[in-house]
Chain A
Amino acid sequence: MEGKVVFTVFSRESSAGARPRYVSYEVPYRSGMTVLDGLLYIKERIDHTLAIRYSCRMGICGSCGMKVNGLPRLACFTQVSELGRSIKVEPLPNHPLVRDLVTDFSTFFAKHKSVKPWLIRKDVEEQENPTGQYLQSDAELERYIQFSYCISCGLCYSACPVVTALPEFPGPQALAWLYRFYADSRDHGGRERLEILDRATGIWRCHFAGSCSQVCPKGVDPALAIQLLRRALIRG
């Protein structure tokens, strides 16, 4: 692929009443270029006002989530060569907009915190002053390891149709994290965690669309976590 790539970027000022618009930029293509590279080229050389959030540039921090050609993706993890010569970039849906491609993650992280994403132990004293290691077998690790790969980038949350319809729904990311700790053999907060889910706007509202699992850049399967949590709830 040679020549130029056209980036059509969503733009909206942060001031109240500002109208959203799409601005097109021509960016020279180079081999191995990511969408984030293209956006940084625009910011550095064409439009300094373009607001984007990013950090590690290698798919670890989860900061640069945005909608690229209609799908939530990490900009640093998406090769321009996969997308062709025309690339449309928009902010993540289901997150309030701050400006241009930057969204507000406050609600997302509040939901994340609400599922108590930490080990809950009965032996608080032992947890505070451990006398040894909490050993786990391979099988025990296997139960939750894939869910611990989540980087909280918010892509699954923005792809979830239930969050769109029902903003109180915790979302796939929070539920996957809840399962990650529920399934951890070192955790004692099983019942306490399940009670968080068992409400009208909780886990039962998942339609099992599966879009959360499809868009996850780390291969986590939040839809599976939700089904496993439902099974745990049914079994009491």
Chain B
Amino acid sequence: MSERRLMLLHYVTGLGILVTGAVHLWVVFFTVPLDQTIWETTMLFDGHQFAIMSVYRNALLASTLWLLLVFTTFHAMNGIRVILMELIPNERVMRVAKWALIALGVFLVVYGTRTILIAYNIR
């Protein structure tokens, strides 16, 4: 992919993080009682039902969360690539770093998608 497209995606995902992140935070903090939001992850372990889970069972909001995951992962991996390029200006190191970052990005998206799907399917 050309540098122009990579950087365009970098800017687009940056804006995407702002939008989807704002939606996520607003829904989590302002549409359910506050005392039930901070324990959202505990619920997966102790089996209690909290109102926050309704957020993750909503297809639209779950999709927004997935988009946030994809945007953040791409933006972070590309950001690390840019930083590394200036820290270690070496073509061979950058080739290895590029594939390592792609692998890490794919892993993060797959693992995050799995987590979102688990939360979506809990009844």
Which A residues form the contact surface with B (CB < 8 A)? 162, 165-168, 198-202, 204-205, 233-234, 236
CB neighbours (8 Å) of B15 from chain A are: none
Q: Does A205 contact B85, Cβ atoms closer than 8 Å?
A: yes
In the complex, how many residues of chain B place their beta carbon closer than 8 angstroms to a beta carbon of chain A?
11
Which of B2, B82, B87, B94 touches A205 (beta carbons < 8 Å)? B82
CB neighbours (8 Å) of B89 from chain A are: 165-168, 201
A-B contact pairs, 14 of them (CB 8 A): A162-B86, A165-B86, A165-B89, A166-B85, A166-B86, A167-B89, A199-B3, A200-B3, A202-B3, A204-B3, A204-B7, A205-B86, A233-B4, A234-B8
Instruction: Return A233 CB to nearest CB of chain B, in Å.
Output: 5
CB neighbours (8 Å) of A236 from chain B are: 4
Instruction: Return A229 CB to nearest CB of chain B, in Å.
Output: 11
- Interface SS of A by simple majority: loop
Instruction: Return B12 CB to nearest CB of chain A, in Å.
Output: 10
Instruction: Return B86 CB to nearest CB of chain A, in Å.
Output: 4
- In the complex, how many residue pairs between chain A and chain B have their CB atoms under 8 Å apart? 29
Instruction: Return B8 CB to nearest CB of chain A, in Å.
Output: 6
Instruction: Return B64 CB to nearest CB of chain A, in Å.
Output: 26
1/0 per residue, CB under 8 A from A, across B1-13: the answer is 0111001100000
CB neighbours (8 Å) of A202 from chain B are: 3
Q: Does B85 contact A200, Cβ atoms closer than 8 Å?
A: yes
B:73-109 near A, CB below 8 Å: 82, 85-87, 89, 94
CB neighbours (8 Å) of A205 from chain B are: 82, 85-86
- CA of A200 to CA of B87 in the docked complex: distance in angstroms? 14
- CA of A168 to CA of B3 in the docked complex: distance in angstroms? 15
- CA of A166 to CA of B86 in the docked complex: distance in angstroms? 5
Residue of A nearest to B2 (CB): A198
Instruction: Return B33 CB to nearest CB of chain A, in Å.
Output: 44
Q: Does A234 contact B4, Cβ atoms closer than 8 Å?
A: yes
- CA of A200 to CA of B88 in the docked complex: distance in angstroms? 13
Q: Does A198 contact B86, Cβ atoms closer than 8 Å?
A: no
Residue of B nearest to A233 (CB): B4
CB neighbours (8 Å) of A233 from chain B are: 4
Q: Which of the listed residues A167, A198, A202 has the most CB atoms from chain B within 10 Å of its own CB? A: A198
B:1-58 near A, CB below 8 Å: 2-4, 7-8
- CA of A236 to CA of B87 in the docked complex: distance in angstroms? 29
- CA of A165 to CA of B88 in the docked complex: distance in angstroms? 9
Instruction: Return A186 CB to nearest CB of chain B, in Å.
Output: 25
Q: Which of the listed residues B4, B8, B86, B89 has the most CB atoms from chain A within 10 Å of its own CB? A: B4
Given A165-B86, A166-B85, A200-B94 contact (CB < 8 Å): yes
